Structure 1
Amino acid sequence: MKQLCKARKIIVAAIAFIVLAISVFAYNKVFRANVSTSSEPAEEKTATVPVVSRQSNLAESKIKNADTVAWLYLPGTEIDEAVVQARDNEYYLQRTFDKKYDIWGCYFADYINDLSGRDKLSPNTIIYGHAYRNEDPNERKFTQLFKYLDAAFIEQNPYIYLAVDGEDLVFQVCAVFFTDISFDYIDPTPGTEFYATIAAKNEFVFEGLGIGPGDKVLTLSTCSHRYDTKNTRNHRFVVIGKLLPQDAEVQPMEIEINPNPQRP
């Protein structure tokens, strides 16, 4: 009888030991799984470049003036207006959007360019506007383009928005420079030398954002007097943006000052 009781105790103890061992094993397995999962680096989500729509503004402007081809918006500036286009580049030079005489004119696209859609854009699309002689970036119209001479401003406002019929296009600023008209920066279908010249003239070096054949760019052009010591009126200040693909992701970029840009 005593032997039977002793055997039962041994069996119970064995069962208890087995249950405890299984419990410890299961706990360790879950614990290790949790540790393994928590130690894996979290997957970083890449932000998408913000898109700003101006389709309603564009539609209203087309009703008011059939020459309207786009709507230009530059964050950080007061530039948020319609872009028109005529059969030549003289008509709107000193005419307002309402076709009335004004020395300040309005924003107009080069007559050669096609702004009917993303796929129709030339490699180089040009928009013109006037600027004050003092180049004060707080003045009106394209005088505000001179804000892009500040690298911090570009970092805070890297995108240029152009609404065309049915599409809101986004360009990223990639070049800022002074030039005279001996450089054909308004060539709608430029060759490879065009991009090399821009790199040499650029006031900044945009690390991680280059342009070359196959890209499409938006060129914003205005007059400049800063280096026009002979008052030739042939000097220009230019800001260029690179067209980004739809649903583009924000890319890391560094802006450094070009220590020796080629100026006119």
Structure 2
Amino acid sequence: MKYIKEIMILAICLMVLGFSASVLFGIWCMYQEGVSEYRGLQEFAEEESEADADDSGVVKKKTAVDFDSLKEINGDIVAWIKCKELGINYPVVQGTDNSYYLTHTFSGEEHISGCIFMDCVNKPDFTDDNTILYGHNMKDGSMFGSFSQFMEETATVFLYTPEGEFIYQIIDDQMVDVSEGKYFRTVYSTEDFASLSETIAAHTGNALVRGEHLLTLSTCNGNANRRHLILCKEVTETNEKQMEEGTAGEVIQIEAGQEETTATAQKGAAKETQEAETK
């Protein structure tokens, strides 16, 4: 009788172990489906060497994106985002709301990885004061899942569009409450921009310059009320020259003790922050 009980316990343990292994394998396969799709799409955004080397003798490379082919797969595409330091190399879409691409890939398949997408209220040409891109915090590090491992002091984000290339420099990396609406605006009043500039300056020591175009990368972090944001500012010939000459530009200054302006986050951003969950 004793041996029968031991055999039954062993059998139950083996069944539980087998079930757990099958579940983990299923999850792994599901993740691989998403990774495989986006890896396949990368053939439409390949690096090409320029014919002439620069003054240092280094052959420059640029990314050429085949938007015509990508539009045949998904007409919602607006850009391609690439950042070596974050391991990001994905198409960017913009839907009519901030929920569809939480659960659908670039090809339209329903999948937990979703797609990198622009806030539905943003202008697709990246001319807003702040362009917001959302992506899932995938446990395998794909999509925006690398944010928690980001340890660089600075990094460059490239955005390629049918009209041209935009270059951004990462300036801040922090966790914020979804109620902090200043991070989720696409257009800023002078007061709102001043409030954002003060907050970033307190965190990084560097204030913003009024008129700079910002890029905010947003992902979830396991807490429905918090978001992990990476903030970037556009690199232009003007601010490159200012940095070289040591000029500060038109920096927004905030008087000590000034009350921070508060407001509700945009409807689109709020919808994303309520529905997105850590994957």
Distance apart, 1:246 and its partner CA:
4.3
Letter in 2 for 1:188: T
1:144 aligns with 2:137: no
Distance in 1 between residues matched to 2:226 and 2:201, nearest whole Å: 15
Any conservation in 2 of the 1:73–1:160 contact (CA below 8 Å)? Answer: yes
Distance in 2 between residues matched to 1:63 and 1:206, nearest whole Å: 45
Q: How does 1:198-217 map to 2 (within 5 A)?
A: 199-200=198-199, 204-205=203-204, 207=206, 210-217=207-214
Aligned residue for 1:65?
A: 74
Distance in 2 between residues matched to 1:88 and 1:97, nearest whole Å: 15
Distance apart, 1:146 and its partner CA:
2.5
Distance apart, 1:59 and its partner CA:
3.9
Distance in 1 between residues matched to 2:215 and 2:122, nearest whole Å: 11
Distance in 1 between residues matched to 2:145 and 2:68, nearest whole Å: 27
Distance in 2 between residues matched to 1:114 and 1:147, nearest whole Å: 30
Q: Name the structure with the higher helix share.
A: 2
Distance apart, 1:195 and its partner CA:
4.8
Corresponding pairs, count: 186
Structure 1 gaps, min length 5: 1-45, 254-264
Instruction: Indicate which of 128, 136, 141 corresponds to 1:122.
Output: 128
Distance apart, 1:55 and its partner CA:
3.8
Distance in 1 between residues matched to 2:88 and 2:136, nearest whole Å: 12
Q: CA, structure 1 residues 202+249, in 2 after alignment: closer, same or farther (shift >3 Å)? A: closer
Aligned residue for 1:188?
A: 186
Aligned residue for 1:3?
A: none
Letter in 2 for 1:127: L
Q: How does 1:41-190 map to 2 (within 5 A)?
A: 53-116=62-125, 121-132=127-138, 139-148=141-150, 150=151, 153-155=152-154, 158-184=155-181, 185-190=183-188
Distance in 1 between residues matched to 2:159 and 2:93, nearest whole Å: 12
Distance in 2 between residues matched to 1:202 and 1:176, nearest whole Å: 12
Cα deviations by residue, 1:151-183 (Å, 9 ceiling, x for unpaired): xx134xx21111112211101111211111111
Cα deviations by residue, 1:219-257 (Å, 9 ceiling, x for unpaired): 1000123xx4xxxx121000111111148648479xxxx
Distance in 1 between residues matched to 2:172 and 2:237, nearest whole Å: 21
Larger Rg: 1
Distance in 2 between residues matched to 1:167 and 1:223, nearest whole Å: 30
Distance in 2 between residues matched to 1:76 and 1:159, nearest whole Å: 8
Distance apart, 1:110 and its partner CA:
0.6
Any conservation in 1 of the 2:65–2:80 contact (CA below 8 Å)? Answer: no
Cα deviations by residue, 1:172-220 (Å, 9 ceiling, x for unpaired): 111211111111112111233345346436795255xx32431110110
Structure 2 gaps, min length 5: 1-54, 247-279
Distance apart, 1:114 and its partner CA:
1.4
Q: How does 1:244-255 map to 2 (within 5 A)?
A: 244-246=235-237, 249=240, 251=243
1:223 aligns with 2:220: yes
Q: CA, structure 1 residues 234+52, in 2 after alignment: closer, same or farther (shift >3 Å)? A: farther
Aligned-residue sequence identity (percent) comes to 26
Cα deviations by residue, 1:76-115 (Å, 9 ceiling, x for unpaired): 2321110001111111111000111011201000111112
Describe the SS at the equivalent of 1:193.
Answer: helix
